[in-house]
């Protein structure tokens, strides 16, 4: 019984680990097996320390993959002792990683894709954006848009990259320091009122739970298909411990294994 492996444990060498904004870091890991398999929306579990403190691995959405260099990138905010330890890694250090984990986004052949990112939610969406751009843009006259919502303009990331992929990028900030003042979901409603986004639309969203709940409501009201990537604390990350479940119309499902991407309509808020 030989089945093709879908997940790997690798000792990945840190290629780079640099601050990209205040408290935000981008880490590039040399990880040939994970890089070969990772799809947008999947994540990796990183052992940030060998000392046993913190004890558990930390999950990070795949932010970018470079097939030629065999690297997987993550984008993270230093929030606690796990991400603090991670931010101290130097090029040449090794991180034990598991991946790629979970089910990613299912890329739809829609005329219009709207990516909605709240805060760090931009990390996995940037990888999706790149794939969508490569797979879909050329043939069709598809309209594609990314909405990024942040606390202030200092928290905005990936804008230039996304524009380089060919996306229109709209910004919302809580304090109005750049773009639309208010929540990214208010911006989404505004955008959906504009005629040119009345094509068959697919929404892909990642961000905090209250934001995803709102995206889900909007999608339901407008009868739009939406895929939501959930964030959750995890113990194992591979579906064994049942510690990270979410309520769905079909009972509890594991965020790490059955998700982290779910159809908006399947979630019970």
Partner 1 sequence: MNPSLATKIGKLCLKNPVMVCSGTFGYGEEFQDFIDLKKLGALVTKTVTLFPRSGNPMPRTCETPAGLLNSIGLENPGLDVFLRDKLGFLKKTGVPIILSVASQGGIDEFIKIVDAVDAVKEIGAIELNISCPNVKPHVEKARHLISQDPQATYDLVRAVRKVTKKSLITKLSPNVTCIGDIALAAETAGSDAVSLINTLTGMSIDVNTRKSKIAAGVAGLSGPAIRPVAVKMVWETSRAVKIPVIGMGGIMDTASALEFFIAGASAVAIGTANFINPGVSIEIIDGIKQYLVENNMNDISLLRGSLQL
Strand bridging mode 71-77 / 64-66: antiparallel
* Cβ at position 82, least distance to partner 1 in Å: 9
194 binds partner 1 (CB under 8 A): no
Residue ranges of E strands in the chain = 8-21, 24-30, 43-47, 58-61, 64-66, 71-77, 94-101, 112-118, 143-150, 168-173, 180-181, 201-206, 225-229, 245-248, 251-254, 261-263
For partner 1, the binding residue among 108, 178, 243, 248 (CB under 8 A) is 243
Of 241, 249, 265, 269, the residue at the interface with partner 1 (CB under 8 A) is 241
| Phi, psi dihedrals of residue 29, rounded to the nearest 5° | -120, 130
What does DSSP say about strands 58-61 and 112-118: parallel, antiparallel, or unpaired? unpaired
- Considering only residues 207 through 226, tell me which ones interact with partner 1, judged by CB under 8 A: none
How many residues sit close enough to partner 1 to count as binding (CB under 8 A)? Answer: 32
Choosing from 86, 133, 246, 267, the residue that interacts with partner 1 (CB under 8 A) is: 246
Q: Does 252 bind partner 1 (CB under 8 A)?
A: yes
Q: Does 53 bind partner 1 (CB under 8 A)?
A: yes
- Asked whether position 268 contacts partner 1 by CB under 8 A, the answer is no
Contact between residue 17 and residue 27 where contact means Cβ atoms under 8 Å apart: yes
Which residues of this chain interact with partner 1, rule CB under 8 A? 1, 3, 5-9, 47, 52-57, 96, 98, 233, 235-246, 251-252, 257
């Amino acid at each position: 019984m030989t089945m093709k492996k879908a997940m790997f444990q690798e000792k990945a060498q840190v290629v780079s680990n640099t601050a990209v904004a205040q408290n935000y870091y981008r880490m590039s890991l040399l990880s040939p097996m994970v890089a070969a398999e990772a799809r947008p929306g999947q994540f990796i579990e990183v052992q940030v320390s060998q000392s046993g403190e913190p004890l558990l691995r930390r999950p990070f959405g795949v932010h970018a993959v470079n097939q030629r260099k065999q690297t997987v990138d993550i984008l993270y905010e230093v929030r606690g002792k796990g991400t603090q330890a991670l931010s101290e890694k130097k090029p040449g250090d090794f991180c034990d990683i598991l991946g790629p984990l979970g089910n990613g986004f299912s890329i739809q052949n829609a005329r219009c894709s709207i990516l909605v990112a709240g805060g760090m939610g931009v990390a996995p969406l940037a990888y999706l954006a790149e794939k969508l751009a490569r797979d879909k843009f050329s043939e069709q006259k598809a309209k594609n848009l990314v909405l990024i919502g942040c606390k202030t303009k200092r928290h905005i990331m990936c804008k230039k990259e996304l524009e380089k992929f060919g996306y229109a990028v709209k910004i919302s900030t809580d304090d109005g320091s750049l773009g639309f003042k208010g929540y990214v979901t208010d911006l989404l409603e505004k955008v959906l009122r504009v005629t040119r986004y009345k094509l068959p639309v697919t929404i892909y969203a990642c961000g905090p739970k209250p934001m995803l709940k709102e995206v889900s409501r909007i999608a339901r009201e407008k009868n739009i298909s939406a895929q939501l990537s959930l964030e959750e604390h995890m113990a194992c990350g591979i579906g064994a411990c049942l510690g990270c479940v979410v309520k769905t119309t079909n009972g509890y499902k594991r965020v790490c294994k059955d998700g982290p991407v779910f159809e908006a309509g399947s979630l019970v808020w």
